Chains A and B, each alone.
Chain A
């Protein structure tokens, strides 16, 4: 016989997760709408409205930095190629991170990344403020309820 308490806990945990996902969706929608003129914002909106809300953000890990030794003369060419490839990988990783990045060239990608970073920072600030407010409300009124 299952412990009803643990079951309830799981249930509430799921509820919290669900709520979190929905809140995150709202945050992303807000993010996209805040810069609606931008390519990444449009791509983000397309993604959000196309997929079901439970779609998670796929965050890829960037390729690790290659430790560069002092190149010998003969290895210079190989190193250059390696470095180029390494940069290519990183650019690809960035493309995956920024919504709509796959379709862009590098220079445009950087531009979009800059704007995306700005919008993300603002979004984080808003959410932090919101969390603080809600915490304040909760602590203030929690005992009244």
Chain B
């Protein structure tokens, strides 16, 4: 219920904080996308199609990037970005890829809503013959779908075989081009294709997209299991094609087969392709992605590499935060407030008001009702100045400030209703009347006594 009240605020909050984090990715991703056509090391033949596919793939991750790093599951604004068949939290397959090299010349790039449609309908996104090979792709877990929020057309990446087959049946053109490119991929593509949901940072997508093409070419020379060949072909073509498939399907109102509960994983070259190891790989990718999220949250973890060290840092950070809460609560206990401030009244669990956890409620009561408190303005400034540096998120105009300039919407927002009633009570009533409505725990008078003694 509280979540409902400020879910949108939460989204804003998170997007504020993470947008700044992701802006680099965003910017460089865009720039790389724009400049990639020139940098694509592919023969002129399939160049256009591959480049377009890559573009679609990258665009598909821009939105996911933002929402992925948010880390929250329930963001209403972001759920529209995905179309995961499962209701579970957005899955993402992340490879621990190195950071992308920022493009020197960023160019403004606005995702064209019709881009996906147009690209999807291009004849180069065929792939009939490959579908036969793709039949050997081993299904591992739940399906994937990448949807580009920037494109209103809704590029959907669906890893299901049936979908591909349907889509390819509908296309049929230009299979030759894909054949050439399609060989087993290095599996970086897997992040794009397979369980790739909310992935990641665009850097990984870039790397994967870039790597897959040359890898696929190289892999063609070597032998490989049919499965892997099928995988790669799908890697290069299938995923993007899938995206385009679904997209064109959506655009053409073709019936899209309902996604199954699988995650389709590409087998990397040289790796086992049985279901266990693939599932294991998916799981590892998920875990590494979450670790990256945590790395962003925990300060000073950017240079740290390695799971163990990261975990240590995380544990330390959580411990320190918990200790801070404890310390601050002790400190609040020692503060010699005027006797009419009964903070521990709120601690009464059986009190409906107390249970709202609004520690600030008595403060506001007293602030409003305290006769010697001439104005609320200093309180505003105090709160504003103190909460701004203390909060992890930098407040901007997006953050709703209540009457106290409380820059913490999540905690401050959900008892706004209480606050209003408090204000009315505090202003309109005698302070004793306001306070006596609460059951008194008994430390009020003793605090004043305590003051005298100390």
| A residues whose Cβ falls under 8 Å from a Cβ of B | 8-9, 12, 15-37, 48-49, 53, 57, 59, 62, 65-66, 83, 86-87, 90-91, 93-94, 97-98, 106-108, 110-111, 113-138, 141-142, 144-145
Q: Which residues of B contact A142 (CB under 8 A)?
A: 336
Q: Which residues of A contact B392 (CB under 8 A)?
A: 118, 121-122, 125
Tell me if B328 and A127 are in contact (CB < 8 A). Answer: yes
> Is B207 on the interface with A (CB-CB < 8 A)?
no
Which of these binds chain A: B57-65, B108-116, B309-317?
A: B309-317
B383 CB contact (under 8 Å) in A9, A48, A133, A138:
A133
Tell me if A31 and B321 are in contact (CB < 8 A). Answer: no
> Is B164 on the interface with A (CB-CB < 8 A)?
no
Which of these binds chain A: B98-106, B231-239, B445-453?
A: B445-453
Most buried by A among B287, B297, B308, B346: B308
Q: Which residues of B contact A90 (CB under 8 A)?
A: 308, 311-312, 315
Tell me if A129 and B382 are in contact (CB < 8 A). Answer: yes
> Is B359 on the interface with A (CB-CB < 8 A)?
yes
Consensus secondary structure, chain B interface: helix
Q: Give the distance in Å from the alpha carbon of A132 to the alpha carbon of B312 in the complex.
A: 31
Query: How many cross-chain pairs have Cβ atoms below 8 Å apart between A and B?
Result: 258
A53-B349 in contact given A90-B311, A123-B325 (Cβ < 8 Å): yes
Range class of the B interface residue count: 35 or more
Q: Give the distance in Å from the alpha carbon of A142 to the alpha carbon of B454 in the complex.
A: 13
> Is B356 on the interface with A (CB-CB < 8 A)?
yes
Tell me if A107 and B390 are in contact (CB < 8 A). Answer: no
Q: Give the distance in Å from the alpha carbon of A46 to the alpha carbon of B317 in the complex.
A: 24
Which of these binds chain A: B44-52, B152-160, B288-296?
A: B288-296
13 A-B pairs (CB sep. < 8 Å): A12-B450, A17-B333, A19-B344, A24-B330, A26-B347, A62-B312, A62-B315, A107-B287, A113-B314, A114-B290, A117-B314, A129-B406, A134-B337
A127-B329 in contact given A110-B291, A117-B297 (Cβ < 8 Å): yes
> Is B79 on the interface with A (CB-CB < 8 A)?
no
Q: Which residues of B contact A116 (CB under 8 A)?
A: 318
Tell me if A122 and B410 are in contact (CB < 8 A). Answer: yes
**Binary contact track B67-91/A, C-beta < 8 Å → 1, others 0:** 0000111100000000000000100
A29-B357 in contact given A53-B349, A97-B319 (Cβ < 8 Å): yes
Tell me if B359 and A27 are in contact (CB < 8 A). Answer: yes
Nearest first, the 3 closest Cβ-Cβ pairs linking A and B are A30-B357, A110-B290, A125-B390
Q: Which residues of A contact B383 (CB under 8 A)?
A: 129, 133
Q: Which residues of B contact A115 (CB under 8 A)?
A: 71-72
A26 to chain B, nearest CB (A): 4
A117-B298 in contact given A110-B293, A126-B387 (Cβ < 8 Å): yes
Q: Give the distance in Å from the alpha carbon of A135 to the alpha carbon of B334 in the complex.
A: 10
B391 CB contact (under 8 Å) in A12, A37, A98, A125:
A125
Q: Give the distance in Å from the alpha carbon of A36 to the alpha carbon of B357 in the complex.
A: 12
Tell me if B290 and A27 are in contact (CB < 8 A). Answer: no
Q: Which residues of B contact A117 (CB under 8 A)?
A: 294, 297-298, 314, 317-318, 321
Nearest B residue (CB) for A145 = B338
> Is B283 on the interface with A (CB-CB < 8 A)?
yes
A62 CB contact (under 8 Å) in B316, B321, B335:
B316
Nearest A residue (CB) for B359 = A26
Q: Which residues of B contact A111 (CB under 8 A)?
A: 71, 73, 89, 290, 293
Tell me if B363 and A130 are in contact (CB < 8 A). Answer: yes
A47 to chain B, nearest CB (A): 13
> Is B280 on the interface with A (CB-CB < 8 A)?
no
B412 to chain A, nearest CB (A): 7
**Binary contact track B372-392/A, C-beta < 8 Å → 1, others 0:** 110000110011001100111
